[in-house]
Amino acid sequence: MFSIFRQMGLKVFSVVISVLLSVGVVHAAPEKNGFDLANSTIPVSQILSGGPPRDGIPAIDQPKFIPANKADYLKPDDRVMGVKYAGEVRAYPINILNWHEIVNDTVNGQAIAVTFCPLCGSGVVYSALINGKAHKFGVSGLLYNSDVLLYDRETETLWSQILAKAISGKMVNSPLTIIPSSHTSWKAWKKQHPNTKVLSRKTGFDRDYSQSPYGNYTSDRTTYFPVAFSSKRYHPKERVLGLTLNGQQKVYPFAELAKFEGNSLRDHFAGKDLVLEFDVENRDGQIKDASGKVLPSINTFWFAWYAFHPEAEIYSYP
């Protein structure tokens, strides 16, 4: 059929295709919020609008920092994402990230993307250097399994935060490199790193950073969007540490870690000896291999981890 159209000339061909599209004989490539989903690796029907349009939640592109002793807007129990990288120590308050979800930052010349999804409680820091080029990220306004889909402004590729890889676009299936970070209380981070710098409230946007736009979402059982898989084994918002190692996943719920008297445990998973160091009070932790190297892990809500990895091994108290 299309060989005939070619003989008819480009103009006539375009008119015919338009007619066929209008009557449903030919289907246009799937698109949401202006993103081409033709090569999406996940079902397009499961990519949902979160409400705001592309960049309706604005990323912070020119972050400013202040010393810890000047951050009088932070209470001891306020949550922060803490990063120790390239010779710098920085804290990104969750009460700011709730409104922006992404901070495009540069640490001693190294481009990073600090990302947070309020719906999944997931904070992940990535190297923004992809294929040798620094990228800046924005909030697409789209969700998969209730988790934010990032996009890079250079190629408009869509990236899953929790999967840490591209799910559609020019760089589909490309991975993101996770930089280890902490998700803890301000008092705990400041105690560990008294000289930390802190993201300033002078973001260039007019937001009430003293209030969460999500109310009591972090403690109630409510989830706003459907997910592919769900489990009632733990409270939906129970914090967990999720690990992907050699293509396998394991999750460490803090409900299980709270049963230990100490603050560390040894484990063996995916052929590796591991040491998990954790802080139950502040729901933070890190996983190291036998050499002491910190492995990339994700601190998130139970429902979010299970939605992506229902087959993951679950650590339970002996």
One domain for residues 185 and 246: no
The pLDDT-based confidence of 210 (bands split at 50, 70, 90) is very high
Q: What is the pLDDT at residue 259?
A: 96
Q: Which pTM does this prediction carry?
A: 0.90
Q: Please check whether residue 109 lies inside any domain of the structure.
A: yes
Tokens of 94: 């969750």
Instruction: Judge if 193 and 73 occupy the same domain.
Output: yes
> Does 214 reside within a domain?
no
Instruction: Tell me, yes or no, whether 281 lies in a domain.
Output: yes
Residue 221: inside a domain, yes or no?
Answer: no
**Taking the alpha carbons of 234, 235, 238, 243 in that order, is the dihedral positive or negative?**
positive
Judge if 295 and 264 occupy the same domain.
yes
In a domain, 122, yes or no: yes
pLDDT at site 58: 98
Q: Residue 87: pLDDT above 90?
A: yes
Going 65 to 53 to 40 to 118, the CA torsion angle's sign is positive
6 and 60 in a common domain: no
pLDDT given at position 16: 37
What is the per-residue pLDDT across 148-193, written as a single tens digit (0 to 9) for each?
A: 999 999 999 999 999 999 999 999 999 999 999 999 999 999 999 9
21 and 155 assigned to the same domain: no
> What's the CA angle centered on 239, arms 190 and 296, to 5 degrees?
70
Q: How is residue 77 written in tokens?
A: 């129990």
130, 251: one domain: no
For residue 174, give its domain range.
44-199
Confirm whether 232 is domain-assigned: no
Give the neighbor-by-neighbor strand order of the sheet with 284-289.
Answer: 264-269, 272-279, 284-289, 294-295
pLDDT at 227: 97
| 195 and 48 assigned to the same domain | yes
Check residue 35 and give its pLDDT: 97
- Pick the last residue of a domain from 147, 175, 199: 199
Q: 91-149 pLDDT, tens per residue?
A: 999 999 999 999 999 999 999 999 999 999 999 999 999 999 999 999 999 999 999 99
Do 121 and 265 belong together in one domain? Answer: no
Tens of pLDDT, residues 2-41: 333 333 343 443 343 344 334 444 345 699 999 999 999 9
Q: 182: closest CA among 274, 276, 102, 286?
A: 286
Assess if residue 34 is contained within a domain. Answer: no
pLDDT of res. 28: 52
Share of the chain above pLDDT 90, in %: 90
Q: How many domains does the chain have?
A: 3
Last residue within a domain, chosen from 173, 199, 225: 199
Domain identity same for 110 and 245: no
